[in-house]
Structures are given as C-alpha cells and as structure tokens.
C-alpha cells in the first residue's frame, strides 16, 4: 500500500501525459471532424497500454541514468512536480513536453541531493528536443508530397477517398498511440523502476515482470487522461497552427508516430549499428514537439503564409518554461517534503554504517595492542642481553 501511495504521483503524471499528448495522436483527426473523440479515445487507450507494456523498457533505462533517485519519497516528489507542471500547462491549452517536465524535475532532485547530473545521458535527450521537431517536419513534408502525387495518380473519387482516409486515420492513430506508450511511459514510471516488485505477475497465457507491471499501471493512467481531459488540447493542435485537411491530418499523425517509434525500438537501433552507423539513442521524445514540427512541415509545403507563427511562438515559450518550472518546483517540493513532513527524499551515499565503524575501531584497537606488546617484548629482550 505504501508503494502504491508513492506511485500515485507517477500515475498522476501519466494522467497529465494522456490529457496533453493524446492530442498529438488524434488532435488533427478530431479537429478535422474525420474521427469522433470517443472513437479516438478508445483506440488510443488500448494501444497506448500495449505500447507501454511491450516496448517501454528502452527509453526508461536511459532516463534512469540521468539521476538515480534512491528514495521512494524523492521519486514521489519528482513525479508530482513534473505532473503538476504538465497539468498547469495543459490547463493553459499548451501542448507541452512531458519529457522536458520529468527531465527538469530529475535535475532538480540532483541539485537538491548534491549529486552530479549524468550529462552523457542528458545530451541525447536534449538533442531530441531539437532533432524531434526537425525530423517530424521532414517526414511530414515528404509524406505530404508523396500522398498528393498518389491521390492525383489514382484519381480516387472524393467520397471513396474520404472513407479510406477515415480508416487510415484510425490505423495510423493506433500506431501513434502504441509509439506514444512505448516511448513516453519512461516519463511516467521511469523514476520508480528501482522500486519495481521482484515477483512476476502470471496471467497463465503470459506473465509480466516487475518493470512491466509498472508500465501497465502507467499505461492505464495515460488512458484515463485521454478519456477525461485530452479534448481541450486537441482544439489547439488540431487546426490553430495550420488549417489541416483530412489528408494532411493523416500525414501529421504518421510522421509523429514514426519519430517516436524510431527512438524507442531497440531492434532498429541494433540494426542501424550493425551496418556501421551510429546507434539510435533510446530516449523519451517529446511527442508534442514532434507533432508541432510535423504540422509546420505541412505548412512549409503549402507556403509559409499558412503558418500561424504567433501560436508557434506561444507553444515554443511553453517548451522553454516547462523544464525550468519543473526543476524549480521539484527542488522546492523536495525541501518541503524532507524538512516539514520528515519524509526521506534522499538516502545518504557511501556513508559507513555503525557496524562498519565499530569493526574499523576494533581493528585499530587490536593493532595498537599488538604494537604495545611488541614494544614491551623488544625492550625486555634488550635488558636481558645487557
């Protein structure tokens, strides 16, 4: 029960992620009236859980290296700070980065605990904050150009085209939800992995190890967030940046899904490395940043005049504020929880226990006794010789 209480902040973060990032999967489809919100929520919930359980381990290990939070109270506070940050930004209708929130909160814990941040782990994460939107823009631009040529070549009737795109939006949305769960479940329960139960959960047909049990709980919390609160942000992502047609909505979701899938698929990373190319880092990517980049890619193909740069500026400012706000909130909350509620948020590192100290003292005493006996023996022997 105590573990579930501490895990509740992570589940709250999962709810906030679902409320915010579901718009990245189905926001454009719902915004263009191609899919009903209820249908999108059901499909998104099922596949986000599957992605979290089946493929969630890769990015989680990288996030864990950023800062090893060694106390349950600390993990609870860090996840809560990230969740509150995402919730507040969602309330302002900004599609913020959950990845940035949890990274900022972890760095806040590192500062509070006096621990160094692993920059080797931080570097690839920060790089994806830049490369993610760029890749999203490139993929969407290429896919959009290819789709337009395909439609002109096939000369499909408008009614038939509309039905095909509806089906494809559902299929691609399912793939996007799977990729979101696989990549972003690290943001939800990554800090709790050291506390994962050791006993596997057996369902007869299959079993879940300790990490997968946390991934399952986190995936369910994301699904609840999708159902209860995600419709608000879908309005901003759906049409405010660039007015999207049904075809471009399909392209945007597919581009975003591909980017998230690439950064969470260990087999693909191994295959790339086997041909002599650098390995793809397994890191949690901001789906919000990627989807905005993908929408901008569509706008660039249509013409720069179609892009609402004022809205992009507001979203980008949210990306800058999010990690800073999460880090500060994490630091202040850790101080409050540790000093007011007297909950352990940091365990001492490399501190000898009383038993070890006693053993060291005993060794010193025995050595001093031995030296004394040897001195007396040598002195007596010299007196006898005289």
**Tens digits of residue pLDDT in 195-246:** 777 888 888 888 898 889 999 999 999 999 998 888 766 655 555 556 677 7
77 vs 80: CA distance, rounded Å: 5
286 vs 256: CA distance, rounded Å: 10
In this prediction, the residues of the chain whose per-residue pLDDT falls under 70 are: 1, 58, 61, 64, 95, 232-243, 306, 349-386
Q: What is the pLDDT of residue 328?
A: 96
Q: What is the pLDDT of residue 259?
A: 93
Mapped onto helix, strand or coil, the DSSP state of residue 202 is strand
Q: Is 249 left (phi over 0), alpha (psi -120 to 50) or beta?
A: alpha
Q: What is the pLDDT of residue 42?
A: 93
294 vs 239: CA distance, rounded Å: 13
**Tens digits of residue pLDDT in 15-52:** 988 887 777 788 777 777 788 888 989 999 999 999 99
| Contact by Cβ (8 Å): 73, 343 | yes
Kindly report the average pLDDT of the chain as a whole number.
Answer: 81
């Amino acid at each position: 029960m105590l573990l579930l209480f501490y895990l509740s902040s992570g589940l709250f973060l999962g709810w906030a992620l679902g409320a915010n990032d579901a718009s990245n999967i189905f926001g454009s489809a719902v915004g263009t009236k191609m899919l009903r919100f209820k249908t999108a929520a059901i499909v998104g919930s099922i596949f986000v859980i599957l992605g979290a359980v089946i493929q969630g381990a890769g990015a989680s290990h990288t996030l864990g290296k950023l800062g090893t939070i060694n106390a349950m109270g600390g993990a609870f506070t860090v996840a809560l700070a990230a969740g509150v940050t995402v919730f507040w930004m969602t309330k302002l209708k900004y599609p913020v980065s959950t990845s940035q929130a949890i990274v900022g909160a972890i760095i806040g814990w590192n500062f509070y605990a006096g621990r160094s941040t692993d920059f080797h782990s931080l570097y690839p994460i920060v790089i994806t904050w830049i490369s993610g939107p760029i890749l999203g823009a490139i993929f969407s631009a290429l896919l959009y150009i290819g789709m337009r040529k395909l439609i002109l070549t096939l000369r499909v009737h408008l009614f038939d085209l509309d039905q095909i795109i509806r089906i494809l939006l559902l299929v691609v949305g399912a793939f996007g939800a799977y990729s979101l769960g696989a990549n972003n479940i690290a943001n939800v329960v990554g800090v709790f992995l050291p506390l994962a139960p050791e006993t596997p959960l057996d369902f007869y047909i299959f079993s879940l190890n300790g990490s997968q049990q946390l991934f399952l709980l986190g995936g369910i919390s994301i699904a609840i967030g999708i159902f209860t609160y995600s419709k608000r942000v879908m309005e901003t992502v759906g049409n405010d940046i660039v007015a999207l047609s049904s075809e471009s909505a399909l392209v945007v979701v597919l581009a975003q899904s591909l980017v998230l899938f690439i950064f969470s698929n260990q087999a693909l990373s191994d295959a790339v490395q086997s041909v002599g190319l650098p390995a793809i880092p397994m890191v949690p990517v901001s789906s919000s940043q990627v989807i905005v980049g993908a929408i901008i890619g569509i706008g660039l193909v249509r013409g720069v005049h179609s892009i609402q740069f004022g809205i992009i500026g507001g979203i980008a400012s949210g990306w800058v504020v999010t990690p800073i706000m999460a880090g500060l909130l994490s630091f202040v909350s850790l101080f409050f929880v540790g000093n007011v509620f007297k909950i352990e948020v940091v365990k001492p590192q490399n501190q000898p226990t009383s038993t070890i100290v006693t053993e060291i003292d005993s060794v010193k005493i025995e050595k001093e006794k031995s030296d004394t006996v040897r001195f007396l023996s040598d002195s007596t022997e010299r007196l006898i010789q005289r």
